[in-house]
């Protein structure tokens, strides 16, 4: 089995995909430099981490309120919020794992 890649075919496929995405006006130099897409991804990742953190803090504060006997805080609400925080953290961990795998794959590619 051969791992040879025809660069011209790959380049033409990338150009077609860029054209479909509305990026056909970019020059080669523009497509190599980081664009606002990288900044948007970083901002989305940062916002996702902040959301997971705030969800965990909210669940923790509800648990403390329940332990103190604050009215209106039910055990079922606390458990649901704790599960939401756990699931959010697990999802974030999976995203991190996928990003690490992608980075390793890219670093192991022959030049």
What does pLDDT average to in each consecutive run of 10 residues of the chain (111 residues)? 57 72 54 64 88 95 95 94 94 92 91 79
The pLDDT value given to residue 87: 95
Residue 65 contacts residue 73 (beta carbons within 8 Å)? yes
User: Is the pTM here over 0.75, yes or no?
Assistant: no
The pLDDT value given to residue 29: 45
The whole-angstrom distance between residue 66's C-alpha and the CA centroid of its chain comes to 33
- Extract the tokens encoding 19: 């054209």
Provide the b/e sequence for 36-65 (b: ≥16 CB within 10 Å).
eeeeeeeeeeeeeeeebeebbeebeebbee
The pLDDT value given to residue 20: 73
The pLDDT value given to residue 57: 96
The pLDDT value given to residue 77: 94
């Amino acid at each position: 089995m051969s791992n040879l890649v025809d660069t011209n075919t790959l380049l033409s496929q990338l150009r077609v995909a860029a054209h479909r995405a509305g990026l056909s006006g970019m020059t080669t130099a523009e497509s190599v430099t980081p664009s606002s897409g990288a900044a948007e991804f970083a901002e989305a990742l940062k916002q996702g981490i902040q959301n997971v953190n705030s969800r965990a803090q909210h669940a923790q504060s509800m648990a403390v309120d329940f332990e103190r006997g604050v009215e209106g805080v039910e055990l079922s609400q606390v458990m649901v919020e704790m599960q939401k925080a756990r699931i959010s953290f697990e999802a974030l961990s999976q995203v991190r794992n996928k990003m690490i795998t992608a980075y390793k794959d890219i670093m192991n590619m022959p030049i």
